[in-house]
Amino acid sequence: MSPHQLKQGYTPSLNSMFSPLDSSMSMMSLGSDTLLFDSRAGGSGSMLYPREALPVQSAPVGYGMYGMQQAPPPQHQQQQQQFHHQRPSPNNRPPLPHPPNQQPQYHYQQQGQQDTVPTLKTVSLPRDCLPRFLSIAKVNTSLNKETCGLLLGRDKGNRYVVTTLLVPKQHATSDTCTMDEEELVMQFTEERNLITLGWIHTHPSQSCFMSSVDLHTHSGFQRMLPESFAVVCAPKFNPNFGIFRLTDPPGLKTVLDCKAKEAFHPHPDVPIYTDADKGHVQMRDLPLEIVDIR
C-alpha cells in the first residue's frame, strides 16, 4: 500500500491488488498484471490491453474483512444533487447526489445464530468504462489536471446497473475537480430517470488512493445510497485504477463526523475505506452510453 493509502485509513479487502507493499511505484518498473490500460505508448489510454487481459472481478464476498452491520438508513431526503470534488466548508457539509426514486432494497442473509444483517446489492459496471474515461481525460491528464465524471444507472430489482457515464461541466487543478452548472446534471438525470450510482476521477500525477477530499466527497454519495462507489484512475502508477467505498462501520460515520477545516487532512487510525470491486461492484461486458456536456 502507498503512504497516501495508509494515511487515510485504507484497508485492503481479500485478494486486493493493493498489496501491503508500497504500490505507489512507477508503472515503468512493474508488470501489467494490475493495469487496466497502458499509458506508456503515447499517453494515457492510448494503448488498451486486449479484453482477456483486463482484470476479472470476483463474485460478491460481502464486505472484505468488515461486514455490513448497520440498520437500513432512514428514508432519502429530497436534496438537490451537487458534485464538488473539493473540500466543503464546515458550514456546508459534503454535497449529496440526486437520491434514487425509491428506497434502496436490502437483502438479508442468516449468519449462523446471529441476527440478520443487511448486505449490499450488486452493482454491474461496464468493463469499458474505465479505459474510455481515460481517453476522454487524456488532454487534462497531459496538462496535469484532474477530470471527473458521474456513473449513472438504473435499479434492476436485485441489482443496480451502470448505463451512462456523464462528464459534466467542470474546472480542475492537479488535485481537485469541481462540477459546474449542477442544474444541467439534475435535468439530465431526471429526464432519463437515472440514479447516481458512483463517480470517477483521475489522479494525473499521483498514485491511486482516496484523498481526504475524495473521502468527504464520497461520504455524501454513500450516505444517500449505500451501494455508491468511487473510481480513481492513476495512469502513471501501478495499480492504475481502484474502485473504493467507505467502510460502514466505521468509515462513513468517521468522515461524516469529521470537523477538520483544512482541505487535505488526516483521519483517525481506523479502517476508513476499502475495495468495492472485490465485493458488490462487478465489471461486466455491458453497453455504456457516454455523454460529455463540457
- How high is the pLDDT of residue 15? 72
DSSP 160-198: EEEEEEEE--EEE-SS-EEE--HHHHHHHHHHHT-EEEE
| Of 115, 110, 68, nearest in space to 222 by CA | 68
DSSP 265-288: ----SS--EEESTTTTEEEE----
- How high is the pLDDT of residue 12? 82
* Euclidean distance between CA atoms 110 and 14, whole angstroms: 21
Is residue 159 within 8 Å of residue 223, measured between CB atoms?
no
Is residue 234 within 8 Å of residue 240, measured between CB atoms?
yes
Which conformational region is residue 135 in: left (phi greater than 0), alpha (psi within -120 to 50 degrees), or beta? alpha
Helix, strand counts (H, E) of the chain: 6, 18
pLDDT along the chain (294 residues), means of 10: 70 74 42 41 35 37 32 38 46 44 42 51 97 97 98 97 98 95 96 98 96 96 97 95 96 96 90 93 97 97
Grid cell 464538488 in the structure block, residue = 84
Phi, psi (5° rounding) for residue 169? -60, 140
Predicted TM-score (pTM) of the model is: 0.69
- How high is the pLDDT of residue 225? 97
Helix, strand, or coil (residue 53): helix
